[in-house]
Amino acid sequence: MIYQVNSIFRKPHALRHLIRYLHSEQPSSVLYPLPKRKILKVAGDDASRFLHGLITNDMEHLSGATSMYAMFLNNKGRVLFDTLIYKWQNQHSFMLECDENVLAQLKKHLKIYKLRSAVQIEDLSQDLRVWALLPSPDLIPDCKSFTENQINIYKDPRLADLGYRVVSTALLNGSQVAKQINENIEVESSEEGYQYLRYKLGVSEGCHDLPPGTCFPLEANCDYLHGVSFHKGCYIGQELTARVHHTGVVRKRIMPLKITNLGNDEIETNTIIRAEGKPTSNLGKFKSYIKDYGLGLVRIKEALDAKVLIVDKSTMEAFKPAWWPVEAPKEKATTLKTEE
């Protein structure tokens, strides 16, 4: 199996000159290990068409890019799995990055709909590692990706602030990966710094933030993060997603929460968020936090109007991330009452 994985990385990429560019830069970047993110390979003549019918995004985007954000939904339009999809060796080979806790479920989900499609599904979680690379300003030029010395680098398709994803063979440790990309890259021993950045930006990721079957893709900001296409054909869960987009307003979304006072040593997931002075109010549910920032699935207007939010014995405030549209589409339209 190791031989097969090594063979994936043998061909040098045409963008090899990027290596020389990177080594000429002085500012340091940071490489974070993402041990909870795993890789499934989907390949075959029908791979693109097969995935196209299951995800919220349009596989045609990968004809001009190398990475894409997408979600798998159930038949009620709720999120099952959030994924980053990478174009691999050719137009018939893709890598799906997902949370390790839903890896087996995602693989089973794919096999259910495979039927007679010319598709092979392979678990490469033991053979490939995933990293987050957060570059200093202008350290890495605008590019698609490059492959060199058993490493693939992809732009994070969601936000520029999230930097790059690095997929390497499991034979390389963090120091080896960093050295091959750029000598000025600092290697962190844990993913906490990357998670902290995500929470500060208000970006959810994985089943800890998005438990399967609990929220809709637009509530998870899939539309703002370039993860849903409203022009493609049918896919599982498409009807409700399209109806909310075209005829209504998303009243609840994942939002970043600034913790102003941590009352407990730990805040439990799914704790009800209330407005200060209104002990019976229910503005949403708290997801998770690191240090002084967390995530919550909250009612946008009510949470912003409340100023101070109460979660158990802690206080916090919600705010709109800078990357959100100034005014959400159809904000003045009649609100569609979706299933709570």
Instruction: Tell whether the model's pLDDT for residue 8 goes beyond 60.
Output: no
pLDDT reading at 214 higher than 70: yes
Co-location of 150 and 277 in the same domain: no
pLDDT at residue 141 in the model:
42
Q: Confidence band (pLDDT; 50, 70, 90) for 264?
A: confident
| 257 & 119 share domain | no
Is 90 exceeded by the pLDDT of residue 81? yes
Q: Give the model's confidence band at 179: pLDDT under 50 very low, under 70 low, under 90 confident, else very high.
A: confident
Structure confidence at residue 135 (pLDDT): 80
Q: 56 and 175: one domain?
A: yes
Query: Going by C-beta distance under 8 Å and a sequence separation of 6 or more, which residues neighbour residue 241?
Result: 56, 73, 77, 216, 217, 218, 228
pLDDT in tens, 89-104: 777 999 999 999 999 9
Same domain for 154 and 279, yes or no, is: no
User: Are 267 and 192 contained in the same domain?
Assistant: no
Query: pLDDT per residue over 229-257, tens digit each?
Result: 988 878 898 878 888 877 778 899 999 99
pLDDT tier at 58, thresholds 50, 70, 90 = very high
Q: What is the pLDDT of residue 38?
A: 98
The stretches of the chain forming alpha helices (DSSP H) are 2-8, 17-23, 47-52, 103-114, 174-181, 192-201, 206-209, 238-247, 300-306
pLDDT at 18 over 50: no
Give the mean model confidence (pLDDT) for residues 109-132.
95
**Do 169 and 261 lie in a common domain?**
no
Q: Say what the pTM is.
A: 0.85
Mean pLDDT for 166-185 is 90
- Strand ranges inside 124-176, DSSP E: 128-134, 145-147, 151-155, 164-169
Domain range enclosing 55: 2-201
Gap between the Cα atoms of 64 and 62, Å rounded:
5
Is the domain of 15 the same as that of 80? yes
Please calculate the CA angle 213-81-68 and round it to the nearest 5 degrees. Answer: 140
Number of domains comprising the chain: 2
**Over the range 258-277, which residues count as b (16 or more CB within 10 Å of their CB) and which as e?**
ebeebeeeebeeebebbbee
Question: What's the average model confidence in pLDDT over 282-294?
Answer: 95
Is 233 within the bounds of a domain? no
Asked whether residue 37 is assigned to any structural domain, the reply reads yes
257 and 193, same structural domain?
no
> For residue range 25-52, what is the model confidence (pLDDT) as tens digits?
444 789 999 999 999 999 999 999 999 9
Same domain, 175 and 41: yes
Look at residue 49 in the predicted model and tell me its pLDDT: 94
Neighbours of 53 (CB within 10 A): 15
Please state whether beta strands 293-299 and 252-261 pair in parallel, antiparallel, or not at all (unpaired): antiparallel
Q: Within a domain: residue 216?
A: no
CATH of the domain at 283: 2.40.30
Share of the chain above pLDDT 70, in %: 84
pLDDT, residue 1, reads 46
pLDDT classification of 137: cutoffs 50, 70, 90: low
Taking a C-beta distance cutoff of 8 angstroms, is the pair 71, 217 a contact? yes
Q: Tell me what pLDDT residue 184 has.
A: 83
Confidence of residue 171 (pLDDT cuts 50, 70, 90): very high
> What's the CATH code of the domain at 14?
3.30.1360.120
- Across all residues in the chain, what is the average pLDDT? 85
Q: Which has more confidence, 338 or 56?
A: 56
Please check whether residue 25 lies inside any domain of the structure: yes
